[in-house]
């Protein structure tokens, strides 16, 4: 098996929503179809248990995320689609990397620092309250995800850039200590990819509980769209599309001629109710067929399990021999 030209992980704690689709899933599926490039996509379930200690939630989310990616057309023969926990080598590498990573580097990780700050704001005596070793080690696990497959490009959101830089630092440290085993990964952040707002106007995110899940029923999808925040301009008044949440979502899904036309309708003063209906119709049209596929898949966990197991098998064709080499390089091997 070849190393990963491209690799990315999806934490399995939530139900995929429109923001996930536009920000991560759609570009990933597009790149998975590229010729001569091998993409690795995985369900980061060991990352999930850092923030979520509800087993039912993890089980449900793992199934939902896998079904979503497959329903939306991920080519699971061409790319490698697997679950992190099916690759035990990743955890072995996590320990090996932990032994060369300085604690000081981890002290600087944003996620850890944000928790300290929160404790300070809450005026807690113990600033480390509720901070687990899992959270603290998170960037090392992520480095292992990446380095295990000598991944080259890592498409991520801005919030993850620091983690990729840490993976590079860790790789450099290992290479300098034991020899040049790892290539240095690079974060790719596509500035053109829109960041969608949720129904309340803040960034669409499960932590704000403002998402529009991708595969809600038609009825519920309509209901959620009707809830999207607008201003109080009356039907005839001209409206600014550049600040409209409805328009931003519309733009992320429509064809360029439709977008152009919609801009005109904003200038002429489209009523919010009409715009909501337009957005609903567009989204429903785009999502109808994958939704059917998704509903079928969700009822066939065995089928999904088979796909993930096959993906893991292929991924391990790379990780097993590579980890063997790494262990040998650090002085751990069979004595004979």
Contacting residues toward ligand TRP, per CB under 6 A? 7-9, 11, 44, 47, 142, 145-146, 154, 156, 160
Contact 83, 312 (CB under 8 A): yes
What helix, strand, coil percent values describe the chain, rounded to 5? Answer: 60, 10, 35
The smaller minimum CB distance to ligand TRP, of residues 47 and 314, is found at: 47
> What's the closest the beta carbon of residue 161 comes to ligand TRP, in angstroms?
11
Query: What is the Cα–Cα distance from 105 to 149, expressed in whole angstroms?
Result: 23
> What's the closest the beta carbon of residue 281 comes to ligand TRP, in angstroms?
31
> What's the closest the beta carbon of residue 65 comes to ligand TRP, in angstroms?
11
The smaller minimum CB distance to ligand TRP, of residues 145 and 278, is found at: 145
The smaller minimum CB distance to ligand TRP, of residues 153 and 316, is found at: 153
The smaller minimum CB distance to ligand TRP, of residues 119 and 162, is found at: 162
Give the closest residue to 65 by CA, choosing from 253, 246, 206, 250.
Answer: 206
Burial class of 2 by CB neighbour count within 10 A (0 to 12, 13 to 18, 19+): exposed
Query: What is the Cα–Cα distance from 144 to 150, expressed in whole angstroms?
Result: 10
> What's the closest the beta carbon of residue 164 comes to ligand TRP, in angstroms?
7
Query: What is the Cα–Cα distance from 62 to 54, expressed in whole angstroms?
Result: 12
The smaller minimum CB distance to ligand TRP, of residues 45 and 278, is found at: 45
Query: What is the Cα–Cα distance from 89 to 137, expressed in whole angstroms?
Result: 17
> What's the closest the beta carbon of residue 241 comes to ligand TRP, in angstroms?
30
Q: In the bound complex, which residue of the shown chain has the CB atom lying closest to ligand TRP?
A: 9
Contact 270, 239 (CB under 8 A): yes
The smaller minimum CB distance to ligand TRP, of residues 67 and 156, is found at: 156
> What's the closest the beta carbon of residue 8 comes to ligand TRP, in angstroms?
4
Residues forming beta bridges with residue 11, ordered by sequence position: 44
> What's the closest the beta carbon of residue 62 comes to ligand TRP, in angstroms?
14
Phi, psi of 236 (to 5 degrees): -80, -20
The smaller minimum CB distance to ligand TRP, of residues 160 and 251, is found at: 160
Q: Which residues of 42-81 are buried (b: 16+ CB within 10 A; e: fewer)?
A: bbbbbbbbbebeeeeebebbbbbbbbbbbbbbbebeebbb
């Amino acid at each position: 098996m070849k190393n990963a030209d491209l690799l990315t992980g999806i934490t399995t704690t939530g139900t995929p929503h429109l923001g996930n689709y536009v920000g991560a899933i759609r570009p990933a599926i597009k790149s998975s179809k590229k010729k001569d490039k091998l993409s690795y996509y995985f369900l980061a379930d060991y990352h999930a248990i850092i923030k979520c200690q509800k087993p039912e939630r993890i089980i449900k989310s793992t199934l939902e995320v896998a079904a979503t990616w497959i329903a939306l057309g991920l080519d699971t023969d061409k790319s490698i689609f697997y679950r992190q926990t099916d690759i035990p080598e990743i955890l072995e590498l996590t320990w090996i990397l932990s032994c060369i990573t300085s604690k000081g580097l981890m002290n600087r990780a944003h996620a850890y620092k944000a928790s300290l700050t929160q404790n300070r704001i809450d005026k807690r005596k113990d600033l480390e309250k509720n901070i687990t070793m899992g959270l603290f080690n998170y960037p090392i696990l992520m480095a292992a995800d990446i380095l295990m497959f000598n991944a080259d490009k890592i498409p991520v959101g801005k919030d993850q850039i620091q983690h990729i830089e840490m993976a590079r630092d860790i790789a450099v440290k290992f290479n300098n200590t034991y020899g040049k085993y790892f290539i240095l990964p690079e974060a790719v952040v596509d500035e053109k990819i829109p960041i969608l707002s949720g129904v309340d106007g803040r960034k669409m995110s499960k932590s704000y509980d403002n998402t529009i899940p991708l595969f809600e029923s038609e009825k519920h999808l309509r209901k959620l769209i009707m809830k999207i925040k607008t201003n109080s301009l009356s039907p005839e008044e001209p409206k600014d599309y550049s600040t409209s949440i409805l328009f931003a979502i519309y733009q992320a899904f429509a064809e360029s001629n439709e977008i152009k036309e919609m801009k005109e309708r904003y200038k002429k003063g489209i009523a919010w109710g009409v715009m909501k209906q337009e957005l609903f119709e567009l989204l429903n049209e785009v999502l109808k067929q994958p939704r059917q596929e998704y509903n079928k898949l969700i009822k066939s966990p065995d089928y999904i399990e088979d796909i993930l197991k096959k993906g893991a098998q292929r991924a391990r064709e790379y990780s097993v021999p590579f980890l063997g080499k790494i262990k040998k390089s650090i002085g751990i091997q069979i004595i004979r």
